[in-house]
Structure 1
Amino acid sequence: MEWARGVTRVSVLTGAGISTDSGIPDFRGPDGVWTKNPRMADLFTYRNYMTDQAVREQFWAAYSGHTAWTAEPNAAHRALADLDRAGLAVRVLTQNIDGLHQRGGTPDRKVLELHGSMRNTVCVGCEVSQPSEKVLARVAAGEKDPACQDCGGILKLDVILFGQYLDSAVFAKAGAIAAASHLFIAIGSTLEVEPAASLCRVAVDAGARLVIVNRDPTPYDHLAAEVITEPIGTAVPRICQAVLDGRTA
């Protein structure tokens, strides 16, 4: 693996595929949430969420019992954390909202959550934030569409829904991280959701080597030094070991 030689700065873009081994279904795969039920995508559209109480009720019902709340980090999450502990400069840019990178051992300051976190809930009116577990307790107690207790506004998981823009400051930071990397690894992402996917090109244009780990082809495969289609749970630990070995090769 020539691309693994002499690497000291690693940036990792992760999508839903890295968390499937933790029991969290992806969205577009053969067993994906939207593949099985295309109407579920309506729950992730900002306009629908804001204008339709029935959509919000469905959203809270779906997320109150979501497997992500009890999921545990898997071998891929742990391998990336081990790479960081080994002394490399590792930064994780994740499209996921499940917090499994942090729970897997990667320090919170080294994880940039591009699409937010399901662990927090925000009022779209007064912008007060609170732990999602408090809102989920209200849902469990019978509130189908819990409102902000401060202003009566609509509550939403602190995540980016379709129709919302990424935080410009967050994305600018992600771009700077990608451009500074020696190796940029995209894991478990279809690389179809922009602008996050464009970080692959940002990294390559700045001189980084790109490695893509995904079961299916992506729009950025032609830029990659290698495309790996083996299961993520075995591929990522192998990649991380190759990078460690490459320091002394």
Structure 2
Amino acid sequence: MDLSQNKFSGPLPTCFNNISFGRGQFSTDAFFAYGRYSVIDPSSINLPFLAMEIISSEYYITTFSEQEKVIFTTKSRSEHYAGNILNFMSGLDLSCNQLIGAIPPEFGDLRHIRALNLSHNYLQGSIPSRLSMLNQIESLDLSYNDLSGEIPSELASLNFLSIFNVSFNNLSGRVPDTGEFATFDDSNYRGNPGLCGPLLKRSCNPFAPHPENVGDQDIEVDGAIDVAAFAWSFFASYMVIVISLVVSMVFLY
């Protein structure tokens, strides 16, 4: 379902969780009709849109119905798909609209969805931890919104997540660094100065100096010591001169 680049406004409807393709509510018969054939010459079988896979010396014959090709975007790639295989390549794209409000936790009920793109909107609030129920998700793009709070650590359980983008929000706290999140880098989190963690090379301790600024701080400290030493030496020299003048005047009179 591609509703991107429109002028839809208002909050995200919670009823999106009733979308059938995102809940796996489809018949497997609509996707394939398979049988096990013992054949010597596969070319003797004439079936339209034939897909074959050799398993244990037997052929699994899969037929797809002819449908119009559809462009499906996931993992930052757009591919053409045709036939009922689209039942297994479900995605929801609401990017580049004027949507506001929070991300409904009900989106976590779309457990069979492969891609979810809510980027380039005006969404606020936190990232629902229930999105960790999207156990088939491969691409999750929440960038260019006004989301705040921490990235739920539960998302680290998404084993198929290869594209994750929360850039240019107002997120804060420690970035998950386990599971698939260990493969991400700072390009996934740009524009969130409140985020921290080893992946970002930014300490979560507010009193710890940033590694890149340690040298500058040493220079500043050394400079401060030099100024203090100069001030004390100048004061001591001034007092010596004053005392010498006083002593000289006493002896003269």
More strand per residue: 1 or 2?
A: 2
More helix per residue: 1 or 2?
A: 1
Between structure 1 and structure 2, the one with the greater Rg is 2
Q: Which is bigger in relative contact order (C-alpha 8 A, separation at least 6)?
A: 1
User: What TM-score does the superposition give when structure 2 sets the normalisation length?
Assistant: 0.23
User: What TM-score does the superposition give when structure 1 sets the normalisation length?
Assistant: 0.23
